[in-house]
Amino acid sequence: MTAAWGKEIGTEVVRGIPFRVYSERPRNISELLAFAEKWGERPHVVQGERVVTFAQLRKAVAAKAARLADGGLRPGDRVLLLGFNSPEWIINFWACVSAGAVPVLGNAWWSQTELTDALDLLEPALVLADARALRSLPDGAPTGVWDCDAAAGGAPGDIAGQPGARDEDDPAAFVFTSGTSGKPKAVVLSHRSLLAGLHMLLHITRRLPQQVDASTGDAGLHTGPMFHIGGIQTLMRAITVGDTLVMPSGKFEPAEALRLIEQWRIVRWSAVPTMVSRVLEHPDVRTRNLTSIKSITVGGAPVHPEFLAQLRAGLPGVEPRVATGYGLTENGGQATAASGKDTAERPGSCGRPLPCVELRIDDPAEHRDGEILIRCPTQMLGYFGAEDSPIDREGWLRTGDLGHVDDDGYLWITGRAKDMIIRGGENIAPAAVEEALGQVAGVVESAVFGVPHPDLGEEVMAVVVVENGATADDLASELRSRLSSFAVPSRWRIEREPLPTTHSGKIDKKQLVHEAVAELSAAAGGNA
């Protein structure tokens, strides 16, 4: 059906860089489409009342790929996909892949200015946009038809395209950085990038294609945007192992998530901690049957012991399998993984490197922590249209994250280099302060950042949601026993309502910083 998926790892020189790679491996992501035949009439994509089986996916992809080719789309052409999660998004993605084109995953929340900038940069041969995104496209954009017929006929035998026709180091997809700081960049990921990441995760979870049969397959709740790197990882895994992807009908709502978990007997859920917490805090949580959930993977924010205790109390079935990991778009996704046992025994750790990942800490001589560097075949080819790259000549990707590796090989993240607060010459990692706050009773969530100070350069500010009436003085007193004196916040904002989040569910620190600086500037002007 497809190329062998081996377990043996060797070293190959790629573009002058020695990477650890699997000796036997697939070479083109179009090969994954052949697995749809194995799963047949099993539900693959669920959204609202819509259910698309694997068999229907095969037919719809074949029909749409043929339509794209008939319309003049050629192998290697870039196709901008612009839309929210839907069966059409998934069919259009695989149709582009089947036709040999390169899907570019546009952010459905882009403003018109951001969208215009992306079009100018990418010069796509075609734009496939849903009805909402279509309204934002400028005149003259080369648009195609978004709709797909999941019941269409077609030639399922042609669905896998020509997997041997292109090199594994050719571009397979473009994924934009999140854009929560700075202008988003188009990360170019090769077939090797995407398949190596999938291969490693299937290997460590014992789910390689030869290890699963037609009777297996779980229902998973997918609450993140499909156009993020985590969405592509989930999509590729699901078609390979036969999973059912259950997606909310629109914006994430805890009540709907609870209903979907019960209705579809969800087994696995990958989410940011904020989403999980809001589900567990919803008044319906005690009236729903959530016993089907066996595995929750959390990432995108610090995972504290208190959060894990809350999760296990609300979802006792996940006790053995609360997993975490670390990765970034420029590395094609996940680089480390922590099992449920790791998470229980080492709360806060991001686990150990995946099989093909090399990891080192840059210049930790003076301090234990340093910048995390990664070398792995999953890393990007580069930023499209840009000469700058965080990857050096030896293939090491500078992540911008700070951390250390303990004696047992576990990675610990302590902050982000560019988010570092410099107070009177002392460096303070916001993540370290947030972790300490997470250990204080009554603290629900927090965001820590630097704000301007006329004497020290910066001072530490914390926006904290509490549930027990704690004051800033109470919190500061608690932190003095946990942090160096200079790291204890000197400015506070105490909230009772949840903090604002980005579209991916993370706390929107950029918005909080903007609000805080504006308030401080206004206060300074008023006192002048």
Torsion of Cα atoms, 294 then 300 then 301 then 306, to 10°: 0
User: HSE of 129 in the Cβ direction (CA atoms, 13 Å)?
Assistant: 22
Task: With H, G, I as helix, E, B as strand and everything else as coil, classify residue 81.
Answer: strand
- Looking at residue 365, its pLDDT comes to 52
Q: What tokens were used for 460?
A: 């530490």
**Considering the domain boundaries, does residue 437 fall inside one?**
yes
> Which domain range does residue 453 map to?
420-527
What is the rounded distance in angstroms from the CA atom of residue 263 to the CA atom of residue 256?
A: 10
Give the CATH number for residue 446.
3.30.300.30
Q: pLDDT (tens digit, 9 = 90+) per residue, 420-446?
A: 787 866 778 888 899 889 889 999 999
Q: Has residue 436 been placed in a domain?
A: yes
- Residue 313 inside a domain? The answer is no
Helix (H, G, I), strand (E, B) or coil at 131: helix
Which pLDDT belongs to residue 443?
A: 94
According to DSSP H, which parts of 383-508 are helical?
430-438, 472-479
Complete DSSP assignment for 366-377: SSS-EEEEEE-T
C-alpha torsion sign, points 270, 275, 277, 279: negative
Let me know the angle formed at the C-alpha of 32 by 30 and 36, rounded to the nearest 5 degrees.
120
Count, residues in the chain = 528
Closest CA relative to residue 437, chosen from 411, 416, 460:
460
Q: Work out whether the CA dihedral 186, 192, 193, 199 comes out positive or negative.
A: positive
Which string of b and e fits 364-379 if b means at least 16 CB within 10 Å? Answer: eeeeebbbbbbbbbbb
Residues 471 and 473: their CA atoms lie apart, in Å, by 5
Q: Number of folded domains in the chain? A: 1
CA 360 to CA 246: how far, in whole Å? 37
pLDDT in tens, 23-58: 999 999 999 999 999 999 999 999 989 999 999 999
Coil, strand or helix at 489:
coil
Q: Is residue 175 part of a domain?
A: no
pLDDT of 120 reads: 93
DSSP 8-state assignment for residue 116? H
Give the model's pLDDT for residue 179. Answer: 43
Cβ proximity of 423 and 460 under 8 Å: yes
Give the span between the Cα atoms of 93 and 258, in whole angstroms: 28
Residue ranges in the chain whose pLDDT is less than 70: 1-3, 150-166, 178-183, 299-305, 317-323, 364-368, 417-418, 424-425, 455, 526-528
At residue 310, the pLDDT reads 77
Rounded CA-CA distance 21/356 in Å is 6
Q: Please, what is the end-to-end C-alpha distance for the chain in angstroms?
A: 74
Residues 6+ positions from 304 with CB-CB distance below 8 Å: 347, 348, 435, 438, 439
Q: State the pLDDT at residue 181.
A: 43
In a domain, 429, yes or no: yes
In the block, tokens 């926006």 appear at 463
Q: Return phi, psi of residue 437, to 5°.
A: -65, -35
Residue 433 lies in a domain: yes
Crossing angle of helices 273-280 and 254-263, in 10° steps, is 80
Look up residue 461 and give its amino acid: M
**50: which residues sit within 8 A by CB, 6+ positions away?**
87
